[in-house]
Chain A
């Protein structure tokens, strides 16, 4: 398993993560910033890896 780390200060609320991996990411109702629905993912989870790669603000990483 990998840990998902979200930096809500850096988040630009683009919604790319919620669009790409809706099982793991949602957006705050007020300002659209990232909300983690799960803070862990399988090593081989391509959706989560894509969400991290596509984040325009560099606000997501895996550990």
Chain B
């Protein structure tokens, strides 16, 4: 970018700072496409300066597929979040922490916010449960939950809200079953798990929610230790290498992650297929396309629209940029997944296309632990929905579907459907 009227002492880095966008734009023109303003940033540069909420400190934004992969595979970009906390979208709760000195204390067991070797130690306690093979064995259980919800939909009022009746309960029932958390006690954790990643919750509210969850799961861990059952929580409770708080933290992470993400994908994915009817019909006529179709929906919709956040722990040079310790880096997955340098016609939803290499589950050692579960849930749920309700359609004009744009996961708040 040239700036001929500027005096020579203004450096390139000062120019970049002056032109740095403030956070990631969230406003969309189209429910399935990343905001036009984000795509424009991506086209302008693979990596640029960006200002972070809440104070406007300078950090970085990485938008290309090539650099996204590179950053996420490089553990110099740390997953531990030091203070002051900085985020790419407005999050009022963080203002309470502006004066906080030093690094945030780690939440026990929350390995998503750890680096190796701490991360490795805890993650490996769980990875045996989420293998491709184990998820195949789980297929009949997932199918049973899907059938259960499809029956309920068919027996209930028409039109119905697909979010409340199908997209939320299916993954929730499954993660509860896997963990050994009683699904009928969900009112004890659902509101709290939502509060943890809701951007407009206060700092006190988030802390209270976390304490409630630790208390609830802590009780369960004690009960499972006394009377083990055939579930993940019992296995973790019996592990002598794990402290009680670690077990609780890990379980909370799985509970929260297993709830919201797949739920958002199921609802938004259904809406995308209904609005691209040829794609719905293709999957109906050729069920063998479903596995690839799910990958394509993951790529095309990229519900982790605010990206993945890392923090730099030491100064180093990266791709010609001087990166400084304590600077934050946001990896924009939604633009990486629409990168023309990697995908053919990325702006189109094509269930027959090749979506391999999408970064919706992340990349590097933190790549989603539950991805094989999520894949299996989506394949079975979309297939079940298409088979049972082949004539499904939106019950309202697409413009009236309420979008959730200001939260960590993009999606729809409700999806009124009819059949």
Contacts and interface: CB of A to CB of B under 8 A. Distances in A.
B132 A54 contact: no
Output the residue of A15, A16, A53, A58 with the most chain B CB within 10 A: A15
A31 B133 CA distance: 12
B48 interface: no
A12 interface: yes
Given A12-B367, A28-B128, A56-B363, A19 B372 contact: yes
A3 B362 CA distance: 28
Contacts of A54: 356-357
A52 to B, nearest CB: 12
A57 B366 CA distance: 9
B357 A53 contact: yes
Contacts of A56: 72-73, 362-365, 367
A4 to B, nearest CB: 17
B371 interface: yes
Q: How large is the interface on A (under 10, 10 to 19, 20 to 34, 35 or more residues)?
A: 20 to 34
Chain A contact residues, majority secondary structure? loop
Contact of B132 (A12, A15, A33, A57): A15
Interface in B22-74: 72-73
A31 B365 contact: no
Output the residue of B131, B356, B361, B366 with the most chain A CB within 10 A: B131
Interface string B335-365: 0000000000000000000001100011111
B185 interface: no
A15 B73 contact: no
Contacts of A18: 131-133
A57 B364 contact: yes
Nearest to A57: B365
B6 interface: no
Contacts, number: 67
Nearest to B367: A56
Chain B contact residues, majority secondary structure? loop
A35 B311 CA distance: 33
A13 B356 contact: no
B127 A32 contact: yes
A58 B367 CA distance: 12
Given A18-B133, A50-B356, A33 B127 contact: yes
Contact of A32 (B73, B128, B368, B375): B128
A22 B362 CA distance: 21
Output the residue of A13, A19, A26, A58 with the most chain B CB within 10 A: A13
A29 interface: yes
Interface in B86-130: 123-124, 127-130
Interface string B382-415: 0000000000000000000000000000000000
A14 B73 contact: no
B261 to A, nearest CB: 16
A31 B73 contact: no
Contacts of B124: 13, 31-33
Given A19-B372, A54-B356, A56-B364, A27 B123 contact: no
Interface in B165-203: none
12 contacts: A13-B123, A14-B371, A15-B130, A15-B372, A19-B375, A27-B133, A29-B133, A31-B124, A31-B127, A53-B357, A56-B362, A57-B364
Given A53-B357, A56-B367, 15 more contacts: A12-B127, A12-B364, A12-B366, A12-B367, A13-B123, A14-B361, A14-B367, A15-B131, A15-B372, A19-B372, A26-B133, A31-B128, A56-B363, A57-B73, A57-B364
